[in-house]
Amino acid sequence: MRFARLRTPLAAIVAALSLSGCFGFGWGGGGFASVSEKECLMRAMYFESIRSSRDGMLAVGTVVMNRVQDDRYPSSICGVVGQKNQFAQGVLTRPMSETRSVALASEVADSIIRGQRHHGVRQAQHFHTAGLRFPYDNMFYVLEAGGNEFYEKRNPRTGVLAYFP
Task: List the domain boundaries for the chain.
Answer: 25-153
- Going by C-alpha positions, the residue among 45, 34, 75, 66 that lies closest to residue 151 is 66
147 Cβ contact partners less than 8 Å away, ≥ 6 residues apart? 49, 50, 53, 56, 129, 130
Model pTM score? 0.77
- Going by C-alpha positions, the residue among 38, 50, 47 that lies closest to residue 130 is 50
Over residues 29-81, the pLDDT tens digits come to 343 334 489 999 999 999 999 888 999 999 999 999 999 999 999 999 999 99
Over residues 86-127, the pLDDT tens digits come to 999 999 999 999 999 999 999 999 999 999 999 999 999 999
| The CATH fold of domain 25-153 | Arc Repressor Mutant, subunit A (1.10.10)
